[in-house]
Amino acid sequence: MWAQPDTTPHFPGAADTYDAIIVGAGLAGLSAALRLPADWRVALVIKHDWQESASALAQGGIAAVLATEDSVEEHVQDTLVAGAGCCDAGHTRGILEQAAAAIAWLRGAGVPFSEENGVLHLTREGGHGKRRIVHAADATGHAVMATLWPLARQRPGLVLLQRHAAMDLITGTGPDGRRQCQGVMAINLPQRRPVALLAAHVILASGGSGQLYPRTTNPAGATGDGQAMAWRAGCQPGNLEFIQFHPTGLAVPGSRSAGRNPLISEALRGEGALLRLPDGSRFMPAHDERAELAPRDIVARAIYQEMQRGNLPHVYLDISHRSPEFLAQHFPNILATCRTHGVDPRREPIPVAPSAHYACGGIPTDLRGRTSLPGLYAIGECSCTGLHGANRLASNSLLECIVLGHAAARDAEARSQHADAWPDHTQDGIRPGAAPVPATQAWNDVRCQQARRQLQQLMWQGAGILRHRPAMEQARDELQKMRQAFLAAGQPEAPSLPWLELRNLLDLACLTLEAALARQASCGAHALAG
C-alpha cells in the first residue's frame, strides 16, 4: 500500500470555531445535527443541498422489525447471509436492535409513512425473509428528508455552510499528547476561498462514491470525499472492494441526468415484479432458488451475465400484471419517472441494467461512529461499521444513518465533558502548509472532467460487476499514473469543485483497486471471473 501524501492544509490566517462540524446533510448528517446539544454551535458543511443527497433519492424504505411474526434475530440472520460472511455480527445486532426506536423517532418527527387500515404498511425486498420495510410510497428518502430538513434549519446554533466543499481534515497534537482531529479545511465555492473550520468534534457524513463508475444511481456529488479525506489524515479504509451494484437502474436513452441513472426500486420485485429477457422468458430461477428476491449482488450478476450472453443493452422488469390502481398507490414516483422517458410500467416492462449503487466499505468505526483518529466520527455511507459486510441488505442503510447519527452525537456530547477533548488551536495542525501553485500549472476544470470520465471507464473495466485480475492490475496501474500526474501538477491557489472531487476520486479509485487485488477469492459484491 502506498503512503498517504502530506496534506497539512494551507491555513489562510483566519478561522471559525464551532463545537462540532458535520460534513454532509443527508440522513446521517441531519440525524446527528438534531441529536447534538441544542446550545452547541454546529457547522453543517454541504456542497449542494439536501435534495441532491443519496438519502433524498432513496425509494425503498427502512428495515425494522415491527410485525409480530418477525424477530430481530431473523433480521440479523438475513443481514449476515446477504453480507456473505463479512459482517461484524455484534455490530449488526447492535444496530438492528435499535430499528424500532429509529422508526418511532421518525414518526414522532412527522414523517408520513404509508399505512393500511391505520397501521404501518410493511413491504418486502430482496434478501429479507419477512415483510419489514417501512416506507413512504416509493419516495421514502424524500419524505424523510423533507421532514427533517426544516427541523434542522430551526435548530439553535446551526450554521449552514452551503456551497462549501470540505477539502482536508485539520489534525494536530491534543492536550493529551495524542494526534487528533481539530477541524476541517473547506473551500467557499462561489468565492473560491479557503476557510478553516475548527472544532473538537468532526462528523463525516459525506456519503458514498458511486461517481467512481460511468453508470450510477448516486448523485453527482458522491465522490468519496469523506473516505479520501480520512485516508489522507491517516485512517485506513476497510472493505472498499465491496461496491454494490443495484440490479435495476432505468436503462433507456437519455435516462442519465445530473450524473446519475434513475433507480427502479427493489420494492417492485418485493411486490411481484419479474425479470425477463427480450423474448419474455424469465431467467432468475436458473441463477438462484430465490429468483427475483435473491440478494442484490446475485441479481446484478445474473442480469450482467444475461446481458453479456445475449449482447443485450438491458433486460426487462415486468410488473404489468399488477393492477394500475395498485401501482399508482405504491409506486407513483416510479410511474412518473418511467413515463417521462416513454415507458408505461402499467402496460409494458421497464428496461433495466445494473448501476453502481452503494459502497459497503469506507472509514472503519465502532458503534459510536468513532474512527481511529480521536475527535473524528464517520457515519452513513462513508463509514464501515461492519453492518453491510460484502453486500448490503436492502433498506438497512437509512436505518444505519439514524442509529449511528444519534450514537455519534451522544458520544461527542459525552466526550465534551473531558478537558482533553478540546484542542489548543495554536498547535501544529493548522500551521500554514506548502504554498499552492499558480492556477496555470494545476489541472483546469476541463482536464479534470476529462480525467473523471476516463477514471470511471477504468473502474468499470477493472472493478465492475465481474472482475478479471489482469484488468484490475491494468486499471490500477493506469489510475496510479493519472494520480501521480495530477498531484505533480500541484494544487491551484483557488481549488474548484471539479479539482477537489477528482482528487478524492483518484485517491479512492486507487485504494479500491488495491483492496480488490488483495482479496483473492470471490465474496459478495467482489466477484472474480473464471
| Per-residue model confidence as pLDDT tens digits over 361-386 | 999 999 999 999 999 999 999 999 99
Check residue 262 and give its pLDDT. Answer: 87
Q: Which of 528, 432, 436, 452 is nearest to 491 (CA)?
A: 436
Check residue 438 and give its pLDDT. Answer: 60
Check residue 426 and give its pLDDT. Answer: 44
1, pLDDT greater than 60: no
Check residue 430 and give its pLDDT. Answer: 45
Pair 391, 83: CB distance under 8 Å: yes
Q: What is the mean pLDDT of residues 292-321?
A: 93
Check residue 434 and give its pLDDT. Answer: 43
Question: How far, in Å, CA of 488 to CA of 5, rounded?
Answer: 12
428, pLDDT greater than 80: no
In this structure, of 113-127, 275-289, 314-328, the range with the lowest mean pLDDT score is 113-127
Higher pLDDT: 255 or 458? It is 458
Distance from chain centroid for Cα 351: 25
Pair 222, 206: CB distance under 8 Å: no
What the block records as the C-alpha cell of 370 is: 468513532
> If you average pLDDT over every residue of the chain, what do you get?
91
User: What is the 8-class DSSP label of residue 394?
Assistant: T
Question: How far, in Å, CA of 67 to CA of 103, rounded?
Answer: 13
User: Mind spelling out the 3-state secondary structure of 1-42?
Assistant: CCCCCCCCCCCCCCEEECCEEEECCCHHHHHHHHHCCCCCCE
Helix (H, G, I), strand (E, B) or coil at 268: helix
124: Cβ contacts below 8 Å, ≥ 6 apart: 130, 131, 132, 133, 270, 271, 293
Concatenated DSSP letters for 233-260? TTPPPB-TT-EEEEEEEE-STT--BTTB
Q: What is the mean pLDDT of residues 336-356?
A: 95
| Per-residue model confidence as pLDDT tens digits over 52-83 | 889 988 888 999 999 999 999 999 999 999 99
Check residue 437 and give its pLDDT. Answer: 57
| Per-residue model confidence as pLDDT tens digits over 120-155 | 999 988 889 999 999 998 899 999 999 999 999 999
Pair 529, 16: CB distance under 8 Å: no
| Per-residue model confidence as pLDDT tens digits over 9-19 | 544 445 799 99
Number of H helices, E strands in the chain: 16, 20
**Could you give the percent of the chain with pLDDT greater than 70?**
92
104, pLDDT greater than 80: yes
Active-site residue 155, yes or no?
no
Check residue 14 and give its pLDDT. Answer: 59
Check residue 445 and give its pLDDT. Answer: 95
| Per-residue model confidence as pLDDT tens digits over 507-521 | 999 999 999 999 999
7, pLDDT greater than 80: no
305, pLDDT greater than 70: yes
Q: What is the mean pLDDT of residues 428-451?
A: 69
Check residue 404 and give its pLDDT. Answer: 98
Question: How far, in Å, CA of 404 to CA of 370, rounded?
Answer: 10
CATH numbers and ranges of domains, the chain: 16-241+360-417 (3.50.50.60), 247-356 (3.90.700.10), 445-528 (1.20.58.100)
Phi, psi of 119 (to 5 degrees): -125, 155
254, pLDDT greater than 90: no
| Per-residue model confidence as pLDDT tens digits over 488-509 | 999 888 899 999 999 999 999 9
Q: pLDDT category, 176, cuts 50, 70, 90?
A: confident
Pair 165, 24: CB distance under 8 Å: no
Pair 331, 346: CB distance under 8 Å: no
Helix (H, G, I), strand (E, B) or coil at 206: coil
**Could you give the percent of the chain with pLDDT greater than 90?**
80
Check residue 424 and give its pLDDT. Answer: 56
Check residue 188 and give its pLDDT. Answer: 95
∠ Cα 261 266 267 (to 5°): 125
| Per-residue model confidence as pLDDT tens digits over 381-399 | 999 999 999 999 989 999 9
The size of the chain, in residues, is 530
Quote the pTM value: 0.91
Per annotation, catalytic residue among 124, 296, 483, 503: 296
Q: pLDDT category, 302, cuts 50, 70, 90?
A: very high
Check residue 57 and give its pLDDT. Answer: 87
Residue found by looking up cell 443481514 in the block: 79
Q: pLDDT category, 47, cuts 50, 70, 90?
A: very high
Check residue 429 and give its pLDDT. Answer: 44
Check residue 255 and give its pLDDT. Answer: 64
∠ Cα 90 91 93 (to 5°): 65
Concatenated DSSP letters for 300-363? HHHHHHHHHHHT-S-EEEE-TTS-HHHHHHH-HHHHHHHHHTT--TTTSPEEEEEEEEEE--BE
Question: How far, in Å, CA of 384 to CA of 235, rounded?
Answer: 12
Question: How far, in Å, CA of 78 to CA of 388, rounded?
Answer: 11
